[in-house]
Chains A and B, each alone.
Chain A
Amino acid sequence: MSNKLVGQSIRRREDFRFLRGEGRYVDDIHRAGVLHAAFVRSPHAHAIVKNVNADAALAAPGVVGVFTGADLEKDNYGSIPCGWIITQRNGEPHHAAPHYPMTRDKARYVGDQVAVVVAETLEQARDAAELVEVDYEALEAVIDMTKAMEAAQIHDEAPNNLCYDWEIGDQAQVEAAFAKAHHVAKLDLVNNRLVPNPMEPRAALAEYDKGTDSYTLWSTSQNPHMLRWMLSGNVTDIPETKLRIIAPDVGGGFGVKIYCYVEETVCLWATKQVGRPVRWTSDRSESFLADAHARDHLTRVEMAMDEEGRFLGLKVDTTANLGAYLSNYATSIPTYFYATLLAGPYATPAIYCNVRALYTNTAPVDAYRGAGRPEAAYLLERIADKAALDLGIDPVEIRRRNFIQPDQFPYDTPVALTYDIGDYEASLDKALTMIDYTGFPARKEEARARGKLRGIGLSSYIEACGVAPSSLISRFGAGAGLWESAEVRFNATGTVTVLTGTHAHGQGHETTFGQLVADALGVPYDDVEIVHGDTSQTPMGMGTYGSRSMAVGGSAIVKACDKVIEKGKKIAAHMLEASVDDIAFDDGTFSVAGTDRSKTMAEIALAAYVPVDFPDGLEPGLDENAFYDPLNFTYPAGTHICEVEIDPDTGVTEIVEWVAVDDFGTVINPLIVEGQIHGGLAQGVGQAMLENGLYDLESGQLVTGSFMDYCMPRADNLPSFKVGYTNTPCTHNPLGVKGCGEAGAIAAPPTLISAIANALGVDHIEMPATSEKVWRMARSAAAAE
C-alpha cells in the first residue's frame, strides 16, 4: 500500500454538512401523514399498574389511539432481548427478567413506559398523554445498591434482585499470594452513575407499507443491522426481509444508541396499527429518564505486594447496578468488558474478581464510552497509587516495576485475555518528558506562593478494543459474532462505492475509510463514497461501538479491496496479454512487470462492466465483499499525566496541564484521532469531577434530571490537551490499528483523581471530586498540619 493519505490529517468531509446545519437526522425526515407518539411514563419508581383508563385521552382532539403493553402482547411482541448470557458462579445462567415494550404489570423506574398516545400533532399527543389515568399501587423503591438484596423484589425471575453472582480468576491462587504478601493496599471505590447525553436525543420514525406488508424504521441507531436482528429475531414476528432499518446522520452515540429501545419498538408496532407513519423524538427530559445510564459500581479492591512493591495478587469485589431492566448488553459490561481488563498493563500473576449485578428501580445501565474498561482502569490505577503511597514508592516507579515488559508479548493475563503487543514504558517515558515530571516540585512551590495547591497524577491504562473475535466472545456468553463486513463496488466510470456494516455517528468514517480505500485502490479520495446505516443497502454488519470500526470494519474494507485488486489483475492480464503472475499493482495502475504496458484502475473498472475484451470464464463486474472476524482484541494503552491547581478557600480545581500519550498502533488520520482523544477526555473529566447521576434513595426520583443539576463538562472546565503517540502496531489486523475512541474516557478519571489526591496530600477522593468535597479535604488536611 502506498501511504499517500493514510497518516494525513485530512479534514472531515462530513463536517461540511454537519457544521452548516445540513445533516439529515431522524427528526429531519418527513413522511406524509405522520403521527406523533407521546409516552405516558411512570412517576413512580416501583408500582403495580392496576388500571389504565384512556377514555378521556381518546376523546381529546387529534388523538388516533392510546395503547399499552397489553396491545403489543396481543400481536406477539415479546421481550427486548439481552444478548449476552452470563454463567454464574453456581453454573446457572443469569436471572433474566423480561423487558416488554411497555410494561405489562409493574412500573420499575421513574420514566418506565406505561402507555403511548398517538395523535395528529406532538402537542395533541402530549396533551392527551396527561389525560391518561393510570391507577398505580406504589411499592417500595429499590435504589440503594447496598440494600437492594434485602429490599422489595422487582422481578419475579430474580430473587433478592440479583441478576448474577459471577467470578473470574483463580481465587485460591490469589489467597496464596495474599498469604505471602509483604503488604496489602486496600481501597473502597465508587464508580459514579453517568447519564451519557449525546447531543442528538434518540428518535424513531416508523412507516408501514400495506402493499408489501413491510416496514421501514428510521432510528438513531449505532448498529442498524443488530437492531433489525433483535426486532425480527426476538421481539416481533416481522421477518428481516420485511423490515428495513435506516440510521441516517446520528448526532453522537457513545453507546447509548446501540440498544433496541421500547420507544422505537412501539412506533414500529403502532404504524401498522394506525396505518400511518408514527414518529417519536425524545426530549432532553426523557433522555435523562429513559436512555441507558452508565457505570454505577461499588468496589472493594485489594492489592498484595512484596517489599519492592511488585504486585503479587489482586482481589476485586464489585457490586454493579444494572437498573430496572436488562438493556441489550448490560450483563456483559461489568463482567467481560470489565474484569477481563483487571491485569491492566501490569504483570500481576494472580487475579480474582467477584461481581454481583443487581436490579434496582433505576434506568437500565449499559455500555457507555469505555464500557467496563473505565471502571477497571480506575480501580487499578487508584490502587497502584495507594500501593505507592503505602510503601513510600514514587507512583511512576511502582508502575514501572510492574509493567508487562515488551519481551513478554504475547502475554496471557490471569483473566482470559492475550495481549498481542505493547510497550507501556515507552508511553510512560514520553509522557513524563512531555509534562516535565522532574520540574513538578518547582511548579508546586511556585503555586504554593500563589496560595494554590498544585498536584500531579497519572494513569497507565490499557483497554481492549476491536470487539471482537467471535469464537472468544461466544465462549464468554455473547449471542452474536462480532465480525464486520464491507463491500467495495466499482462503478463503471471508475468511482468507488464502499458499503460498510459499521455506522458513523461522529467518528468521521466517511473521511478515514475514504483515505484507506483511496490508498488501497489508488483512486482519487473524492471518487470514494462511503455508505452506511441502511440495512437495505449495506451488507449485514455489526455496527459501531467499542472502538471497533477501523480495527474490524477497516480490516474488512482492506480485505475487500484486496479481492478487487486480485480480480483487476486477471482483467489487466487479459487486456495486456500477459500472465496474471506478471501483473503488478501499484497506486492505481496494473502493469506488466518489466515493461511500460499498463492499465489504470478506471480502465479496468470500465472493462469489467463492458466485458468485451475480457478473460474467458470470469464474471463481469468489479464488486467484492469481505467479512473480517478479528483474531484477537486490540490493546491500546498509554499514560496520561495531568496537573491541577486547587484553590483551598473554595475547593475549585483547575486542570492546568494534561499530557496524553497513547499507543493506538497505526494512526489513519491524526486530526480525527486527536479529536477522539479530546472528546473522550472531556467525558472522563466530566465523570471525575462534574457528572453524577443521582436518584432520591426514598422516592426513586431522578434528582439530576436536567442540565441544571447534572453537570456536563464544558470547554472552560478543560485545559488545552497535549497529545503524543507511541506506536506498536497491532500484530493481527492488516492495518496495524487498535482503536482510539474510548481511551480518553478510560484514562481521564484515574489521572485526574490521582492529581487531585496528590494536591491535597490524601490517599483518595471519591468521584465526582466536586468543589465542596475538595474544600472539605483541603480544610481537613490544613487542620492536620
Chain B
Amino acid sequence: MYDFGYHRPNSLTEANAAVDGATDPVLMAGGHTLIPALKLRLAQPSDVVDLCAIDELKGIRDDGDALVIGAMTTHCEVAESDLVMSRIPALASLAGGIGDPQVRHRGTIGGSVANNDPAADYPAGCVGLGATIHTSKRQIAADDFFGPSFDTALEDGEIVTAVSFPVPGKAAYAKFPNPASRYAIVGVMVAKTSDGVRVAVTGAGHGVFRDTAIELSLADAFTADAVAGSGADEDDLNSDIHASAEYRKHLIGVMAKRAVTAASG
C-alpha cells in the first residue's frame, strides 16, 4: 500500500475535524473493502480516518416502532443481538450470512451501507425494510440513499452514524451467494410493512433496486405461490463469469419465493 496518514478519533467531532484537515481523506469502518484496496494499491488516500474508537456510533437500541443500529455495530453484533432476533429476525439472519466469521467480527453496517457494493447484503436490507440512514448531517430514506454501484447520497466527509429499521409485520432475506466471494449473486429482502410489501434486490443489478412486479404480485396475497417472476429488464442486470443476466433474473423470483416462505414460517 501507499503511505497515508492515520487518525483514530474518539468522537464524531474529532472525526469531522480529521476529515476537514486532510486533502484526500477516506473514512474507515471495518475496513473490509478499503484495506484490500489499499493493499492492492487501488486506493491512495492521503489520510485514513478510522471510526473504530467512536463509542457513539456503536450499539443497537429499541426505538419503539424501529430499531436503531449504530454505524459501527458489527455484523456479528447484529446477527447475535437478542433485540434484533426478536424484533426483526430477517435482519439478524441477513447479518449472520455476510462473509465469514472473520468478516462479521470486523465488518460494520455503516461501512457496508456507505460503500454500497452492488452485491452487498445490507443495501437490500435497508431498502427492503424501508430503513432510514442517519448521517452526521441529516437523515436519508434508504430509497433515496443508494445509487448505482458504490454511489450513495453521501456528500464528501458526511459520516453515516446509524441506520433505523422500522419493525415490519413480516420479513425475510434470501440470498444466492457467489460461490467464490460469497457476496450475493442475488439477494432478496421481502417485507410486509405498514406501507405495503417491499421487495429489494441486491447482487443482480448495478445497485440495489425494488422489484415492483414482485411487490405487486404480493399485494393481495403474501404467499410464495403468488410471487411473480422478476420485473427487471435483463439489460439492466449484471452478466459475468459467475451468472448471466437471464440466470440472475430467474434467481430473483426463486429467492423472492423463498423469502416469502421464510417470512411466513
Residues of A near any B CB (own CB < 8 A): 123, 126-127, 130, 285, 649-650, 690, 692, 694, 703-704, 707-712, 717, 770-772, 775-776
Residues on B with beta carbons closer than 8 Å to the beta carbon of A711: 179-180
13 A-B contacts, Cβ less than 8 Å apart? A123-B1, A126-B41, A650-B251, A692-B241, A694-B241, A703-B241, A709-B181, A711-B180, A712-B180, A717-B179, A770-B179, A770-B242, A776-B247
Q: In the complex, what's the smallest C-beta–C-beta distance from A195 to chain B, in angstroms?
A: 12
Given A707-B181, A708-B180 in contact, is the A775-B247 Cβ separation under 8 Å?
yes
B243 contacts A772, CB within 8 Å?
A: yes
A704 contacts B241, CB within 8 Å?
A: yes
Interface of B, helix, strand, loop or mixed by DSSP: loop
B181 contacts A708, CB within 8 Å?
A: yes
CB < 8 Å: which of A126, A650, A772 contacts B254? A650
Q: In the complex, what's the smallest C-beta–C-beta distance from B5 to chain A, in angstroms?
A: 15
Given A123-B1, A127-B2, A775-B247 in contact, is the A709-B254 Cβ separation under 8 Å?
no
* Cα of A123 to Cα of B1 in the assembled complex, Å: 7
A772 contacts B244, CB within 8 Å?
A: yes
Q: Write out, one digit per residue, whether chain B residues 148-171 have a CB within 8 A of any chain A CB (1) or not (0).
A: 000000000000000000000000
* Cα of A141 to Cα of B196 in the assembled complex, Å: 54
Given A126-B41, A285-B40 in contact, is the A771-B180 Cβ separation under 8 Å?
no
Residues of B near any A CB (own CB < 8 A): 1-3, 40-41, 176, 179-181, 241-244, 247, 250-251, 254
* Cα of A127 to Cα of B181 in the assembled complex, Å: 29
Q: In the complex, what's the smallest C-beta–C-beta distance from B121 to chain A, in angstroms?
A: 16
* Cα of A343 to Cα of B250 in the assembled complex, Å: 44
A710 contacts B250, CB within 8 Å?
A: no
**Residue picked from B40, B180, B243, B251, most chain A C-beta under 10 Å:** B180
* Cα of A167 to Cα of B254 in the assembled complex, Å: 50
Q: In the complex, what's the smallest C-beta–C-beta distance from A123 to chain B, in angstroms?
A: 7
Q: Across the two chains, which residue of chain B brings its CB closest to A130? A: B41
A775 contacts B180, CB within 8 Å?
A: no
**Residue picked from A692, A694, A703, A711, most chain B C-beta under 10 Å:** A711
Q: Across the two chains, which residue of chain B brings its CB closest to A713? A: B179
* Cα of A692 to Cα of B241 in the assembled complex, Å: 10
A649 contacts B180, CB within 8 Å?
A: no
Q: Across the two chains, which residue of chain A brings its CB closest to B180? A: A711
* Cα of A568 to Cα of B18 in the assembled complex, Å: 77
Residues on B with beta carbons closer than 8 Å to the beta carbon of A775: 247, 250
Q: Across the two chains, which residue of chain A brings its CB closest to B257? A: A649
Residues on B with beta carbons closer than 8 Å to the beta carbon of A694: 241
Residues on A with beta carbons closer than 8 Å to the beta carbon of B247: 772, 775-776
* Cα of A710 to Cα of B178 in the assembled complex, Å: 11
Q: Across the two chains, which residue of chain B brings its CB closest to A776? A: B247
* Cα of A699 to Cα of B243 in the assembled complex, Å: 21
* Cα of A123 to Cα of B38 in the assembled complex, Å: 12
* Cα of A285 to Cα of B42 in the assembled complex, Å: 13
A771 contacts B179, CB within 8 Å?
A: yes
Residues on B with beta carbons closer than 8 Å to the beta carbon of A650: 176, 251, 254
Residues on A with beta carbons closer than 8 Å to the beta carbon of B40: 285
Q: Across the two chains, which residue of chain A brings its CB closest to B186? A: A650
Q: Across the two chains, which residue of chain B brings its CB closest to A647? A: B254
Q: In the complex, what's the smallest C-beta–C-beta distance from A743 to chain B, in angstroms?
A: 25
Additional pairs, 9, CB under 8 Å, beyond known A703-B241, A709-B180: A127-B2, A690-B180, A694-B241, A707-B181, A709-B181, A711-B180, A770-B179, A771-B179, A772-B244
* Cα of A362 to Cα of B250 in the assembled complex, Å: 35
* Cα of A320 to Cα of B185 in the assembled complex, Å: 33
Residues on B with beta carbons closer than 8 Å to the beta carbon of A690: 179-180
Residues on A with beta carbons closer than 8 Å to the beta carbon of B41: 126, 130
Q: In the complex, what's the smallest C-beta–C-beta distance from A71 to chain B, in angstroms?
A: 26
* Cα of A650 to Cα of B241 in the assembled complex, Å: 16
* Cα of A709 to Cα of B247 in the assembled complex, Å: 17
Q: Across the two chains, which residue of chain A brings its CB closest to B183? A: A708
* Cα of A708 to Cα of B40 in the assembled complex, Å: 14
Q: In the complex, what's the smallest C-beta–C-beta distance from A705 to chain B, in angstroms?
A: 10
Q: Across the two chains, which residue of chain A brings its CB closest to B253? A: A649
Residues on A with beta carbons closer than 8 Å to the beta carbon of B179: 690, 711, 717, 770-771
* Cα of A230 to Cα of B170 in the assembled complex, Å: 68
* Cα of A708 to Cα of B254 in the assembled complex, Å: 24
* Cα of A649 to Cα of B256 in the assembled complex, Å: 12
Given A126-B41, A709-B180, A775-B247 in contact, is the A649-B254 Cβ separation under 8 Å?
yes
CB < 8 Å: which of A123, A127, A707, A776 contacts B180? A707
Q: In the complex, what's the smallest C-beta–C-beta distance from A281 to chain B, in angstroms?
A: 14
Residues on B with beta carbons closer than 8 Å to the beta carbon of A130: 41
Q: What are the nearest 3 A-B pairs in CB distance?
A: A711-B180, A708-B181, A772-B247
Residues on B with beta carbons closer than 8 Å to the beta carbon of A123: 1, 3
Residues on A with beta carbons closer than 8 Å to the beta carbon of B250: 775
Residues on B with beta carbons closer than 8 Å to the beta carbon of A127: 2
* Cα of A711 to Cα of B3 in the assembled complex, Å: 32
Q: In the complex, what's the smallest C-beta–C-beta distance from A84 to chain B, in angstroms?
A: 34
* Cα of A771 to Cα of B243 in the assembled complex, Å: 9
* Cα of A694 to Cα of B180 in the assembled complex, Å: 14
Residues on A with beta carbons closer than 8 Å to the beta carbon of B3: 123
**Residue picked from A285, A703, A772, most chain B C-beta under 10 Å:** A772
Residues on A with beta carbons closer than 8 Å to the beta carbon of B251: 650
Given A650-B176, A771-B179 in contact, is the A709-B2 Cβ separation under 8 Å?
no
* Cα of A724 to Cα of B251 in the assembled complex, Å: 39
* Cα of A562 to Cα of B212 in the assembled complex, Å: 80
Given A126-B41, A650-B254 in contact, is the A709-B1 Cβ separation under 8 Å?
no
* Cα of A479 to Cα of B54 in the assembled complex, Å: 65
Q: Across the two chains, which residue of chain A brings its CB closest to B176? A: A650
Q: Across the two chains, which residue of chain B brings its CB closest to A694? A: B241
Q: In the complex, what's the smallest C-beta–C-beta distance from A549 to chain B, in angstroms?
A: 32
Residues on A with beta carbons closer than 8 Å to the beta carbon of B181: 707-709
Given A123-B1, A127-B2, A650-B251 in contact, is the A709-B241 Cβ separation under 8 Å?
yes
* Cα of A619 to Cα of B54 in the assembled complex, Å: 76
Residues on A with beta carbons closer than 8 Å to the beta carbon of B1: 123
Residues on B with beta carbons closer than 8 Å to the beta carbon of A285: 40
* Cα of A649 to Cα of B254 in the assembled complex, Å: 7
Q: Across the two chains, which residue of chain B brings its CB closest to A652? A: B176
* Cα of A775 to Cα of B176 in the assembled complex, Å: 13
* Cα of A734 to Cα of B64 in the assembled complex, Å: 78
* Cα of A709 to Cα of B1 in the assembled complex, Å: 22
Q: In the complex, what's the smallest C-beta–C-beta distance from A62 to chain B, in angstroms?
A: 12
Residues on A with beta carbons closer than 8 Å to the beta carbon of B242: 709, 770, 772
Q: Across the two chains, which residue of chain B brings its CB closest to A692? A: B241
* Cα of A776 to Cα of B244 in the assembled complex, Å: 11
* Cα of A182 to Cα of B196 in the assembled complex, Å: 67
* Cα of A770 to Cα of B3 in the assembled complex, Å: 41
* Cα of A126 to Cα of B41 in the assembled complex, Å: 10
Q: In the complex, what's the smallest C-beta–C-beta distance from B231 to chain A, in angstroms?
A: 19
Residues on B with beta carbons closer than 8 Å to the beta carbon of A772: 242-244, 247
Q: Across the two chains, which residue of chain A brings its CB closest to B179? A: A711
Q: In the complex, what's the smallest C-beta–C-beta distance from A461 to chain B, in angstroms?
A: 26
Q: Across the two chains, which residue of chain B brings its CB closest to A779? A: B250
* Cα of A649 to Cα of B227 in the assembled complex, Å: 14
Q: In the complex, what's the smallest C-beta–C-beta distance from B212 to chain A, in angstroms?
A: 22
A710 contacts B243, CB within 8 Å?
A: no
Q: In the complex, what's the smallest C-beta–C-beta distance from B143 to chain A, in angstroms?
A: 29
Q: Across the two chains, which residue of chain B brings its CB closest to A773? A: B247
* Cα of A690 to Cα of B2 in the assembled complex, Å: 34
Q: Across the two chains, which residue of chain A brings its CB closest to B3? A: A123
Residues on B with beta carbons closer than 8 Å to the beta carbon of A717: 179
Q: Across the two chains, which residue of chain A brings its CB closest to B251? A: A650
* Cα of A776 to Cα of B246 in the assembled complex, Å: 10
Q: Across the two chains, which residue of chain B brings its CB closest to A707? A: B180
Q: In the complex, what's the smallest C-beta–C-beta distance from B17 to chain A, in angstroms?
A: 28
Residues on A with beta carbons closer than 8 Å to the beta carbon of B2: 127
Q: Across the two chains, which residue of chain B brings its CB closest to A285? A: B40
Q: Across the two chains, which residue of chain A brings its CB closest to B258? A: A649
Residues on B with beta carbons closer than 8 Å to the beta carbon of A710: 180
**Residue picked from A690, A704, A710, A775, most chain B C-beta under 10 Å:** A775
